[in-house]
């Protein structure tokens, strides 16, 4: 599913809302999650999961084409941990 499909589904389930308003709401939610992660905050959506940021320390990598050793810089990456309800729904077969 892509963002435009999500907007269409929400708009079809809520006919009293305009699609452009639903798109604005979805964009606002994603922007707030992104902003919180940029500030190293944790975002928890009960029943769905939690977004956080993890640090990947610098390391020596390998160029797959040439086999040369390459220094990979430290970086921060987003991390998602599924919530209990989501895991249960995925494993129940519903």
pLDDT, one tens digit per residue, over 25-79 is 999 999 999 999 999 999 999 999 999 999 999 999 999 999 999 999 999 999 9
pTM of the model: 0.79
Query: How many other β-carbons are positioned within 10 Å of the β-carbon of residue 78?
Result: 12
**Alpha-carbon gap, residue 70 to 60, rounded angstroms:** 6
Banded model confidence at residue 94, pLDDT cuts 50, 70, 90: low
Q: Quote the radius of gyration of the chain (alpha carbons, Å).
A: 19
Domains of the chain: 3-85 (4.10.520.10)
**Pick from 49, 72, 52: nearest CA to 60:** 72
- Are 47 and 86 a contacting pair, CB within 8 Å? yes
**Alpha-carbon gap, residue 13 to 17, rounded angstroms:** 9
């Amino acid at each position: 599913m892509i963002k435009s499909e999500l907007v269409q589904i929400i708009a079809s389930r809520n006919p009293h809302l305009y699609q452009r308003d639903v798109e604005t709401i979805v964009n606002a939610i994603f922007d707030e999650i992104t902003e919180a992660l940029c500030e190293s905050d944790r975002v928890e959506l009960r029943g769905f999961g939690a977004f956080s940021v993890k640090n990947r320390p610098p390391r020596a990598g390998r160029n797959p084409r040439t086999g040369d050793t390459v220094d990979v810089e430290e970086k921060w990456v987003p991390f998602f941990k599924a919530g209990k309800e989501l895991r249960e729904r995925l494993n129940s077969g519903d």
